[in-house]
Amino acid sequence: MSAEDDTAGNEHDLRARIVRVAQAMDQAGFCPTKSGNVSARVGDGLIITPSGLPYAETTPADLVAIALDGRARDEGSRRPSSEWPFHTEIYKARPDVHAIVHTHSPKATALACARRPIPAFHYMVAYCGGRDIRVADYATFGSADLAANAVAALEGRKAALLANHGVIAAGATLEGALAIAGEVENLAGQYLALLAAGLDPVILDDDEMARVAAKFSGYGKVG
């Protein structure tokens, strides 16, 4: 097999994985009314889910390859997700990130709409890359301002809430990014339950969160 054939095969496999992750995200209830998107880094660009196509109907051929400046890299008829600007900006800012999952998962989005970050009330917050899950400042979807705000909120993190919008999870793999998005939703549900009960969560201190992060790193790559 030539190097060119091998590259083509790898891209086909990557497209299939993106579709599987997008459909799993949809089946989990994280993408009402075709919201959210998924991408993976490939070479000096990325492959991303298309705009406006239900995930159940999406095939690998429907995905869109773009450069990091947003230029199309294939001749397909589909347009990339309208959120492609924050995908490209995150990849440019974070060489460690190779996959991005964006959801509108209900509980995490509720906190995002309250512009309420998730503090270290549970040690699993560290799974998302730090001592809390920040909320990115609000900006119109698909805008350069939103992209810049997302990059800032993700500094030193693997997940962030987008004010009045949803969730971004960034990982080393597609499956890792999806797992992080799922954990954000799980944590959001627990945090909302505490708040609804009128209880004050006990927040773990930075030293403990650093110890937890070190333990996670000992298990291998997280996301």
| Residues taking part in catalysis | 83
Q: What is the rounded CA–CA span in Å between residue 161 and residue 109?
A: 7
CB-side neighbour CA atoms (13 Å) of 61: 3
Tokens of 58: 């999406």
- 108 sits in which H/E element: helix 106-113
| Helices and strands of the chain, counted as H and E runs | 6, 7
Beta strands 45-48; 37-42: pairing state: antiparallel
CA of residue 157 relative to chain centroid, distance: 11
Beta strands 159-162; 135-136: pairing state: parallel
Q: Which residues pair with 38 in a beta bridge?
A: 101
CA of residue 167 relative to chain centroid, distance: 7
Residues counted in the chain: 223
Tokens of 98: 């190779």
At 211, give phi and psi (nearest 5°): -65, -40
